[in-house]
Amino acid sequence: MHRRIVKLAFFCASLYVGPSTLQAQEFKLFDRTVQVHGYVSQGFVYTNDNNWLTMDTSSGSAAMTDMALNASSQITDKLRVGAQGFDRNLGQLGQYHPSWDWAVADYRFKSWFGMRGGKVKTVLGLYNDTQDEDFLRVFALLPQSVYPTDLRDATIAHVGGDIYGEISLKHKLGDLSYTVYAGHRGDSIYSGYPYYLSSFGSRITSFGGLQYGADVRWNTPLKRLLIGASRIDEDLTGRGVAINPFNPAAGLVPYSEASKSDWTNQFYAEYTVGKFRIDSEYRRYWRNQELFGGTSESFADVRGWYVSGAYRIRKRFQIGSYYSRYTITNVVSGALSIFYPPTTDAALPADHEYDKVITGRVDLNKFWSVKIEGHFMNGYGSGPYPNGFYTQVNPQGFKPDTNALVIKTGINF
């Protein structure tokens, strides 16, 4: 563990000379200005008991790296194009397999009506479409009950199109922003859900499908109070191979799963006054799916919510805290029910995760920040919608409580 801490300290020290000179880059292409931005972050996580986020955190782990580079250009007054490449390694996830985070053409006809298409960020709640803008937040990790980092690419974007706009309400009632979208979701096979399935001998080769939804947010007459709601529906299919649970010696057989009902409702609010910001969200995810080609069926009900606050003490120093609650119930019927007993008691550690968090952020300069964060968790929420805890890296089983230290440094330009 001490060697890992030394490596992290060396990484931070090596950045000391460079970041102060970083800035966004611009160049001309066909008489149009192209802006280039990017970031890289490195984290270190230590837990007192359970291993977390697929890393060997009980010994201390620095296997937490992500980076992105994007370019965009305003082609006309109404048309903007851009794209971002992204890569990460989070323990057993990501594994440095680069992908397009987003690639979009955006045409705004009027303030109340615009269209964008390509690989578009999915608007879901306060932060889903800004998860890659870590430098804007005080927290090293967003509340995991609503934004689990191991499932980042499950909702980050869709290949399709959006209709969006902003409408000024009469009688000084504020502004109403809306987004309506439809497209195809395509998960990385190096994400949390395929890794979760691997604990049962399954190897997913593809996972995704149709998704459509909407988001409406109201900037209320009360200055800096935002209230909103999101809804997303999906029709997902997963394919691959798996060990036949009824005859393990027979080797791998084709595996498939398909949604019968898959939706998410999310409600949120944010209020800023002076140097203080408070926000809260509630998310319910429901999934009814067929397993093993329809021989079995599962029902998962996931509910998460949090309340968070952040305060800027000085120009370059912020503190923050949040309380996050996550619960999951899961029932499997059909042939596989004998292998998966129902989990319906959210009070059990296996069916919930309650997380108390405190954090501090120091901006060493305009481009470089360091965050130190403590997590005090009860429960480990193991199930088909994973939330950071996996049996593969906890072969001795789980303990009910986990305390975690997260140190994260990042530069952006």
pLDDT, residue 11, reads 43
Of the pLDDT bands very low, low, confident and very high (cuts 50, 70, 90), residue 4 is: very low
Burial 121-142 (b: 16+ CB within 10 A, else e): bbbbbbbbbebbebbebbbbbb
Confidence of residue 17 (pLDDT cuts 50, 70, 90): very low
pLDDT of 320 > 50? The answer is: yes
Please tell me the predicted confidence (pLDDT) of residue 22: 59
| 199 pLDDT higher than 50 | yes
Tell me the percentage of the chain whose pLDDT exceeds 90: 84
What is the spatial distance between Cα 353 and Cα 344, in angstroms, rounded to a whole number? 14
Query: Is residue 31 one of the residues assigned to a domain?
Result: no
The verdict on residue 370 lying in a domain is yes
Query: For residue 408, is it within any domain?
Result: yes
What is the percentage of the chain residues whose pLDDT exceeds 70? 94
pTM metric for this prediction: 0.91
Q: Residue 18's pLDDT is what?
A: 47
Please indicate, yes or no, if residue 114 is contained in any of the structural domains: yes
Alpha helix ranges (H) inside 226-296 = none
Is residue 5 one of the residues assigned to a domain? no
pLDDT of residue 28: 84
CA–CA separation, 321 and 355 (whole Å):
10
- Tell me, yes or no, whether 95 lies in a domain: no
pLDDT for 41 equals 97
Burial of 308 (0-12, 13-18, 19+ CB in 10 A): buried
Q: Which position has the higher pLDDT, 276 or 154?
A: 276
Determine the pLDDT at residue 89.
97
Measured CA to CA, the distance from residue 200 to residue 39 in angstroms comes to 36
Specify the pLDDT at position 12. 45
What pLDDT, on the 0 to 100 scale, is given for residue 15?
42
Instruction: Give CA–CA dist 145/380, Å, rounded.
Output: 11
DSSP 293-343: GGTEEEEEEEEEEEEEEEEEEETTEEEEEEEEEEEEEEEEEEGGGGTS--B
Instruction: Name the domain count of the chain.
Output: 1
Q: 347 pLDDT exceeds 60?
A: yes
The answer on pLDDT for 36 being more than 50 is yes
Using pLDDT thresholds of 50, 70 and 90, give the confidence band for residue 107: very high
Averaged confidence pLDDT in the chain: 93
Q: Compute the average pLDDT of residues 91-103.
A: 96
Q: Quote the pLDDT of residue 321.
A: 98
Residue 231: CATH number of its domain: 2.40.160
Domain that holds residue 405: 106-412
The answer to whether residue 24 scores a pLDDT higher than 80 is: no
Mean pLDDT of 309-320: 97
Across the range 154-167, mean pLDDT stands at 96
- pLDDT tier, 8 (very low <50, low <70, confident <90, very high otherwise): very low
Between the alpha carbon of residue 349 and those of residues 99, 303, 322, the distances in Å are: 35, 15, 20
The pLDDT, as a whole number, for residue 388 is 95
Q: Judge whether 70 lies within some domain.
A: no
- Encode pLDDT of 395-406 as tens digits: 999 999 999 999
Confidence of residue 282 (pLDDT cuts 50, 70, 90): very high
Is the C-alpha dihedral spanning 187, 189, 195, 201 positive or negative?
A: positive
pLDDT category at 246 given cuts 50, 70, 90 is: confident
Tell me what the mean pLDDT of segment 178-195 comes to.
Answer: 96
Residue 384 in this model has a pLDDT that exceeds 90? no
Q: Is the pLDDT of residue 322 over 70?
A: yes
Number of other residues whose CB lies within 10 A of the CB of residue 8: 18
Has residue 76 got a pLDDT over 80?
yes
308 found inside a domain: yes
